[in-house]
Amino acid sequence: MKKKFIVHVDMDAFFAAIEQRDNPQYRLRPVVVGADPKGGKGRGVVSTASYEARRFGIHSAMPISIAYKKCPKAVFLPVDMEKYSLVSNQLYKILYNFTPNIEPISIDEAFLDITGSYHLFGTSLETCQLIKRQIKKETGLTASLGLAPIKMAAKIASDLEKPDGMVEVTQEGLLDFLWPLDVCKIWGLGQKSEAVLKNMGIMTIGDLAKRDVKELAALFGKTGAHFWRLANGIDEREVETQREAKSISNELTFDKDTLDRKRIEAAFVSLCEKVSGRLRHEGFKGKTITLKIRLQDFKTYTRAAALDKSTNFFDTIYKEIKYIYENFNNEGKLVRLIGVKVSNLIPADFDDTLFSDIIDKKNEAIHKAVDTIKERFGNTAIYRAGSKT
């Protein structure tokens, strides 16, 4: 089997790093990009925190009021999505110089398959080092990269030596790399599943790999077998370019199972904004909106609705998702995971209605000023919607 060389590129504290780059007075200071804290009474969440702010325990998706209490002297800045989008476009232009096989994950994160192109730049590792240098040279920002034969290992590797990290995992050393790691590093493993595994004495990825796959399948169904395969270095997921996109989705596993309406609605806002941004960036709009819900008993449900016309607008997606959720009977059970998906995609510039709506044209103009891909939580739309929850 031909060796694969998958790269995971993850920019370091992207929004905050851009602000520190553009404002020298913010360098080496804790910077928090997100909602207005309003003296600790603000609503909304943290979008990105600089590494200086993270030392105070501040992280993405944290309520802005808590971030303020942890570090009231931090520099709190609003999201400037138009500026961040321009830098993101710069980033992707750099990446496309190294391979056409790119899977955008967010505004500051992507998978690259350099299997067929790395030889143009030297070895696979030298190619990654060159990518890092070009990003630094052209944007003034640092990125952390993971190089591995499978996507999961590349993603894990990119996070191990942040900021400005570079970790290579070879095919021969894949299991030696994976097995000592905490089982929580398994891609897609939520905290509740982690707790179940650790109660079984499965503390590391290696522990998981050595268990009977049938035992795991009995506990978690198909997901258990999937986790076992990942633990054994088997990850057949390809780097999917936008030409292959059939749907765009994002999901979130809560730290603790919840029925808190505000928490759930805030998560919907964040997920809908990320899906909306990814659709616009990848040049699609969709007609089918799907809500995924996993309850405390691990039972998973999906509910879908078909729109009259395709969209990639945040407000349309959010309105539909919220309506679906409000009409879902969870029988009083706590919510563990939620996901938002838009499918039945068509090119964004294709008209699937006979008449052009003036309101849609205005919405399109507004959305063009908003970042085309958002992984991090928070933007102006989120703040406005969050203030109503």
Written as one string, the DSSP assignment of 46-99 is EEEE-HHHHTTT--TT-BHHHHHHH-TTSEEE---HHHHHHHHHHHHHHHHTT-
Residue 166 lies in a domain: yes
Same domain, 276 and 332: yes
Same domain, 267 and 372: yes
Round to whole Å and give the CA distance between 326 and 78: 31
Same domain, 296 and 371: yes
Residue 49 lies in a domain: yes
Same domain, 205 and 84: no
| Sheet with strand 102-106: strands edge to edge | 102-106, 109-113, 6-11, 143-148, 166-168
Looking at the 3D structure of the chain, how many domains does it have?
A: 3
Give tens-digit pLDDT for 59-78. Answer: 988 999 999 999 999 999 99
Residue 236 lies in a domain: no
> Is 109 assigned a catalytic role?
yes
Same domain, 6 and 146: yes
Domain of residue 214: give its range. 179-231
Question: What pLDDT is attached to residue 359?
Answer: 40
Residue 237 lies in a domain: no
Place of tokens 């759930």: 264
Same domain, 250 and 366: yes
Domain closes at, from 172, 187, 209: 172
Domain closes at, from 172, 191, 208: 172
Same domain, 367 and 224: no
Burial (CB count <10 Å: 0-12, 13-18, 19+), residue 127: buried
Domain closes at, from 157, 172, 187: 172
Give tens-digit pLDDT for 317-375. Answer: 999 999 999 999 888 899 999 999 998 877 776 655 433 444 454 455 444 444 433 33
Same domain, 152 and 72: yes
Same domain, 50 and 94: yes
For residue 138, the domain's CATH number is 3.30.70.270
Query: Which listed residue (109, 251, 265, 273) is catalytic?
Result: 109
Secondary structure letter of residue 237 according to DSSP:
P
Question: What pLDDT is attached to residue 306?
Answer: 84
Both structure tokens of 324: 């679906």
Same domain, 140 and 264: no
Q: What's the whole-model pTM score?
A: 0.66
Same domain, 28 and 113: yes
Q: What is the average pLDDT across 187-215?
A: 92
Question: What pLDDT is attached to residue 317?
Answer: 95
